[in-house]
């Protein structure tokens, strides 16, 4: 060609010959050119990773979003209710029961966070029927089997009751053993009592009680609605009422867990474990539960999709290696070392994984936003999820490319050029 | 003193094939001085390809010494051999080996990415090489739109863009009709007149007649090095 082309090289027994080299930029542009040389196939190859990464991102996002939604909708009524019962005795369900002390209400009101507390329990009246003032009516039933409840004065607030008319009994009624009763709306209707201003009387068996109030509704302990409620002190005097069975506690928001821990100790310091406590589920627990439920299933699906995507990339890269045997031979002839060939195919498969990861992460975010929009939720996604997703895709591509790249690097240029 | 471009000293190449081994090249001696135009001829199976692969540093001799521009290539690592290949040797193949979805210019540029040529020099060098082979107007074409003769000229441009010391051609006219083949050979003459050292491997007498010296191979042995 020119003088320079045939320039003299002095004989040198130990030559310093620079090895082949390839800049990172060239490596990258060669890989990109390789990817875009068959765009249709590249799209199909990337699809597997797109689906895998998309499923993973969407799963994490939807789980997070749904979890947060539960916290947003958390039930104020349920979250402020703690119920203690003595259903479980020494010997499980059937044994003798722990007594709930008569001053349960006072003990509980001393706890910080309790806004109202009241005990209640069924009164055994020996099968006595309930009737109002006898008006002989041959056509109508006048005596009824009814649930009689003994309640402490604080129960009214603890169950968040409202009155239709009259009043609730107070501590004085209970201490004196006054024969007063408050009727649930169902009971009032059956006994045909609609007003209390003239102090109507009902009879439990032969015992007369003055009706001082009628309940309109309760938010907790709905069994009260069909019953006759009398003061605890009265029940003790008349019916040997021993102990309440249920203590309803109304707590401040956020105090439920604490009170649920403290209440049994306050009520039965010797054996607090014998009392059963019903408390609202913690929002944190609930959210975590939902997240883990959703995650476990779909993360597995996403992982499977990703694996399929990786196999897809490995497959296509391998096919591509076999197809490009001639090109590989040529590159070796042009001075590419084995590692350059391996690097090129690795970069190609990594780039495909990376692109799949980016597209998949975008689609996943769109799915989260779409589901949130359809359900009028607030989409929530950890910021690291869409950022890490492309990396996961890239690593997938890298791993998938290892075997094909090694195959490509192992090719002998002589044979590669012949078969190309 | 200027070292010969190629110096083979007692080079043999034995291919193990199960229990028996096939000797493709036996005790070959060859000296190619700068500016020589040598044709390696012989029937198929005579060891032409083996010799070409050894000369092109694509294969190592089993025994003997190969000096390329005075450098003993047997002492070099694979990476160094690849580096030498990329800078000092240009290849022209029978089947061109162009990348079909890269433009003519990109195909030529491919030869510059493995050999440390500064980036700023690459494009001018590739354009100059293409102009030299008369394809300055086809740089943005895909090889699939070119005729066979044009494709081979692209391959030649790719081989000379790095200004190698040695151009190795393997049946360069094997896939061309005689007219285009003749034009490629005429271009080789031109390159040779410019001082490039050429070794052409062929079984075609018409091709070998262009060379000033024929090396005839038969059963792996050099019959006559005239």
How high is the ipTM of this complex?
0.91
Question: Distance of CA A85 to CAs A82, A121, A260, A267, Å?
Answer: 10, 10, 12, 10
pLDDT (average), residues A83-103:
72
C-alpha–C-alpha distance, residues B138 and B133, integer Å: 11
Is B172 a domain residue?
A: yes
Does the pLDDT value for residue A12 go beyond 70? no
Does the pLDDT value for residue A347 go beyond 70? yes
Q: Among positive and negative, which fits the CA dihedral A193, A194, A197, A198?
A: negative
Contacts with B, A 338-357, CB within 8 Å: 338-340
Which chain A residues are within 8 Å of B114, Cβ to Cβ?
20-22, 331, 334-336, 340
Q: What is the pLDDT of residue B89?
A: 94
Contacts with B, A 24-63, CB within 8 Å: 26, 30, 33, 37-38
C-alpha–C-alpha distance, residues A403 and B24, integer Å: 33
3-state secondary structure of B152: helix
User: Is A19 in Cβ contact with B79 (below 8 Å)?
Assistant: yes
User: Is B5 in Cβ contact with A6 (below 8 Å)?
Assistant: yes
Among the listed residues A407, A368, A389, A371, the one whose alpha carbon sits nearest the alpha carbon of residue A309: A389
Nearest Cα residue in chain B from A412: B58
Tokens linked to B96: 């061109």
Does the pLDDT value for residue B224 go beyond 70? no
User: Is A340 in Cβ contact with B116 (below 8 Å)?
Assistant: no
Is B8 a domain residue?
A: no
User: Who has greater pLDDT, A97 or A171?
Assistant: A171
User: Is A335 in Cβ contact with B115 (below 8 Å)?
Assistant: yes
Is B27 a domain residue?
A: no
* Cβ–Cβ contact A240 with B under 8 A: no
Does the pLDDT value for residue A73 go beyond 70? no
Nearest Cα residue in chain A from B187: A1
Which chain A residues are within 8 Å of B80, Cβ to Cβ?
17-20
Does the pLDDT value for residue A385 go beyond 70? yes
C-alpha–C-alpha distance, residues A251 and A81, integer Å: 6
Does the pLDDT value for residue A98 go beyond 90? no
Q: What is the pLDDT of residue A6?
A: 41
Tokens linked to B214: 């024929």
User: Is A414 in Cβ contact with B97 (below 8 Å)?
Assistant: no
Residues B163-191 have pLDDT tens digits of 999 999 988 988 889 899 998 999 999 99
User: Is A327 in Cβ contact with B75 (below 8 Å)?
Assistant: no
Among the listed residues B151, B149, B133, the one whose alpha carbon sits nearest the alpha carbon of residue B141: B151
Which chain B residues are within 8 Å of A15, Cβ to Cβ?
71-72, 75-76
Size (chain A), residues = 420
Candidate from B53, B97, B163 with C-beta closest to A330: B97
At B200, which helix (H) or strand (E)?
A: strand B197-202
User: Is B82 in Cβ contact with A19 (below 8 Å)?
Assistant: yes
B41, B215 Cβ separation under 8 angstroms: yes
User: Is A33 in Cβ contact with B102 (below 8 Å)?
Assistant: yes
Does the pLDDT value for residue A362 go beyond 90? yes
Which chain B residues are within 8 Å of A1, Cβ to Cβ?
160, 163, 191, 194-196
Tokens linked to A400: 């998938």
Which chain B residues are within 8 Å of A18, Cβ to Cβ?
80, 83, 116
pLDDT (average), residues A246-250:
91
CATH of the domain at B144: 3.40.50.300
Paired with B22 in beta bridges are B15
Mean pLDDT estimate for chain A: 84
- What's chain A look like in SS3? CCCHHHCCCCCECCCCCCCCCCCHHHHHHHHHHHHHHCHHHHHHHHHHHHHHHHHHHHHHHHHHHHHHHHHHCCCHHHHCEEEEECCCECCECCCCCCCCCCCHHHHHHCCCCEEEEEEEEECCCCCCCEEECCCCCCCCCCEECCCEEEECCCHHHHCCCEEEEECCCCHHHHHHCCCEEEECHHHHHHHCCCCCCCCCEEEECCEEEEEEEEEEECCCCHHHHHCEEEEHHHHHHHHCCCCCCEEEEEECCCCHHHHHHHHHHHHCCCCHHHCEEECCCCHHHHHHHHHHHHHHHHHHHHHHHHHHHHHHHHHHHHHHHHHCHHHHHHHHHCCCCHHHHHHHHHHHHHHHHHHHHHHHHHHHHHHHHHHHHHHCCCCCCCCHHHHHHHHHHHHHHHHHHHHHHHHHHHCCHHHHHHHC
Nearest Cα residue in chain A from B70: A11
Does the pLDDT value for residue B108 go beyond 70? yes
Nearest Cα residue in chain A from B82: A335
Region of residue A66 (left: phi > 0; alpha: psi -120 to 50; beta: else) = alpha
User: Is A332 in Cβ contact with B80 (below 8 Å)?
Assistant: no
Which chain B residues are within 8 Å of A33, Cβ to Cβ?
102, 106
Does the pLDDT value for residue A15 go beyond 60? no
Candidate from B85, B101, B165 with C-beta closest to A333: B85
CA A75 to the chain's CA centroid: 14
Tokens linked to A205: 């068996």
Q: Percent of chain B having pLDDT more than 70?
A: 98
pLDDT (average), residues A70-79:
66
pLDDT (average), residues B3-8:
91
User: Is B165 in Cβ contact with A6 (below 8 Å)?
Assistant: yes
B156, B119 Cβ separation under 8 angstroms: no
User: Is B195 in Cβ contact with A5 (below 8 Å)?
Assistant: yes
Domain interval for residue B176 = 33-64+75-225
Tokens linked to A31: 């890989």
Is B211 a domain residue?
A: yes
Which chain B residues are within 8 Å of A338, Cβ to Cβ?
78
Residues A127-166 have pLDDT tens digits of 888 888 766 777 777 788 889 999 999 999 999 999 999 9
C-alpha–C-alpha distance, residues B105 and A297, integer Å: 52
Q: What is the pLDDT of residue B115?
A: 80
Contact residues for B210 (Cβ-Cβ < 8 A; gap 6+)? B37, B39, B185, B188, B189, B200
User: Who has greater pLDDT, A284 or A324?
Assistant: A324
Q: What is the pLDDT of residue B69?
A: 92
For chain B, report the end-to-end CA distance as a whole number of angstroms: 23
Phi, psi of A122 (to 5 degrees): -75, 145
User: Who has greater pLDDT, A42 or A4?
Assistant: A42
Does the pLDDT value for residue A218 go beyond 60? yes
pLDDT band for position B204 (50/70/90)? Answer: confident
Tokens linked to A410: 């192992």
Candidate from A19, A26, A417 with C-beta closest to B113: A26
Residues B119-149 have pLDDT tens digits of 899 999 999 999 999 999 999 999 999 998 9
C-alpha–C-alpha distance, residues A27 and B35, integer Å: 35
Which chain B residues are within 8 Å of A336, Cβ to Cβ?
82, 86, 114
Q: How near does any CA of chain A get to the CA of B29, in Å?
A: 18
* Cβ–Cβ contact A162 with B under 8 A: no
Phi, psi of A100 (to 5 degrees): -95, 125
- Are β-strands A276-278 and B221-225 bridged in parallel, bridged antiparallel, or unpaired? unpaired
B167, B159 Cβ separation under 8 angstroms: yes
Is B15 a domain residue?
A: no
Q: How near does any CA of chain B get to the CA of A358, in Å?
A: 26
Residues A192-214 have pLDDT tens digits of 888 888 889 999 988 899 999 99
Paired with B199 in beta bridges are B38, B168
Q: How near does any CA of chain A get to the CA of B112, in Å?
A: 8
Candidate from A9, A23, A335 with C-beta closest to B83: A335
User: Is B115 in Cβ contact with A10 (below 8 Å)?
Assistant: no
User: Is A14 in Cβ contact with B75 (below 8 Å)?
Assistant: yes
pLDDT band for position A71 (50/70/90)? Answer: low
Which chain B residues are within 8 Å of A17, Cβ to Cβ?
71, 76, 80, 83-84
Is B88 a domain residue?
A: yes
Domains in chain B, number? 1
Is B13 a domain residue?
A: no
pLDDT band for position B3 (50/70/90)? Answer: confident
User: Is A15 in Cβ contact with B83 (below 8 Å)?
Assistant: no
Contact residues for A367 (Cβ-Cβ < 8 A; gap 6+)? A54, A57, A58, A61, A62
Does the pLDDT value for residue A23 go beyond 50? yes
* Cβ–Cβ contact A21 with B under 8 A: yes
pLDDT band for position B223 (50/70/90)? Answer: confident
B181, B157 Cβ separation under 8 angstroms: no
Q: Percent of chain A having pLDDT more than 90?
A: 28
Is B129 a domain residue?
A: yes
Nearest Cα residue in chain B from A33: B102
């Amino acid at each position: 060609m020119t003088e320079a082309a045939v320039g003299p090289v002095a004989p040198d027994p130990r030559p310093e010959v620079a090895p082949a080299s390839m800049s990172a930029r060239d490596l990258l542009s060669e890989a990109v050119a390789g990817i875009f040389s068959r765009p249709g196939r590249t799209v199909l190859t990337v699809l597997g990773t797109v689906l895998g990464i998309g499923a993973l991102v969407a799963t994490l996002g939807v789980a997070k979003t749904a979890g947060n939604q539960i916290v947003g909708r958390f039930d104020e009524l349920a979250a402020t209710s703690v119920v203690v019962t003595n259903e479980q005795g020494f010997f499980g369900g059937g044994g003798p029961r722990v007594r709930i002390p008569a001053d349960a209400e006072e003990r509980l009101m001393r706890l910080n966070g309790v806004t109202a507390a009241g005990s209640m329990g069924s009164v055994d009246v020996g099968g006595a029927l309930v009737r109002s003032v006898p008006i002989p009516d041959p056509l109508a039933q006048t005596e009824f089997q009814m649930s009689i409840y003994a309640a402490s004065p604080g129960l009214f607030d603890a169950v968040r009751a409202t009155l239709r008319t009259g009043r609730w009994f107070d501590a004085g009624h209970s201490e004196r053993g006054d024969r007063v009763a408050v009727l649930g709306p169902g009971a009032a209707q059956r006994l045909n009592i609609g007003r209390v201003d003239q102090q109507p009387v009902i009879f439990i068996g032969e015992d007369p009680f003055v009706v001082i109030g009628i309940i309109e509704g309760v938010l907790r302990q709905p069994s009260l609605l069909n019953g006759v409620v009398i003061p605890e002190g009265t029940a003790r005097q008349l019916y040997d009422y021993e102990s309440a069975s249920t203590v309803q506690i109304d707590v401040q928001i956020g105090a439920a867990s604490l009170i649920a821990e403290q209440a049994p100790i306050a009520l039965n310091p010797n054996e607090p474990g014998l009392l059963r406590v019903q408390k609202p589920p913690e929002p944190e627990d609930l959210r975590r539960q939902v997240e883990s439920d959703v995650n476990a299933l779909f993360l597995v699906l996403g992982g499977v999709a990703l694996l399929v995507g990786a196999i897809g990339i490995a497959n296509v890269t391998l096919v591509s290696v076999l197809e490009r045997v001639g090109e590989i031979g040529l590159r070796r002839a042009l001075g590419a070392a084995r590692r350059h060939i391996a690097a090129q195919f690795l970069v190609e498969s990594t780039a495909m994984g990376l692109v799949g990861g980016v597209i998949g992460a975008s689609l996943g975010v769109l799915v989260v936003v779409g589901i949130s929009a359809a359900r009028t939720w607030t989409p929530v996604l950890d910021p690291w999820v869409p950022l890490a997703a492309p990396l996961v895709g890239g690593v997938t591509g890298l791993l998938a490319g290892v075997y094909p790249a090694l195959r490509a690097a192992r090719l002998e240029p002589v044979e590669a050029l012949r078969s190309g | 003193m200027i070292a010969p471009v190629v110096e083979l000293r007692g080079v043999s190449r034995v291919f193990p094939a199960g229990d028996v081994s096939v000797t493709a090249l036996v005790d070959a001696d060859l000296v190619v001085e700068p500016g020589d135009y040598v044709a390696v001829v012989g029937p198929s199976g005579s060891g032409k390809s083996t010799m070409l692969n050894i000369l092109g540093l694509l294969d190592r001799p089993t025994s003997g010494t190969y000096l390329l521009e005075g450098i003993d290539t047997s002492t070099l690592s694979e990476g160094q051999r690849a580096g030498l290949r990329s800078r000092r040797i240009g290849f022209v193949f029978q089947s061109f080996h162009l990348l079909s979805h890269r433009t003519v210019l990109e195909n030529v540029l491919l030869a510059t990415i493995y050999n440390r040529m500064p980036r700023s020099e690459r494009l001018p060098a590739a354009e100059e090489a293409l102009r030299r082979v008369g394809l300055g107007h086809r740089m943005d074409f895909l090889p699939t739109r070119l005729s066979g003769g044009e494709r081979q000229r692209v391959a030649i441009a790719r081989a000379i863009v790095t200004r190698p010391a040695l151009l190795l051609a393997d049946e360069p006219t094997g896939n061309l009709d005689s007219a285009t083949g003749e034009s490629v050979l005429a271009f080789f003459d031109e390159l040779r007149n410019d001082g490039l050292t050429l070794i052409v491997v062929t079984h075609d007498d018409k091709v070998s007649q262009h060379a000033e010296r024929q090396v005839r191979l038969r059963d792996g042995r050099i019959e006559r090095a005239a």
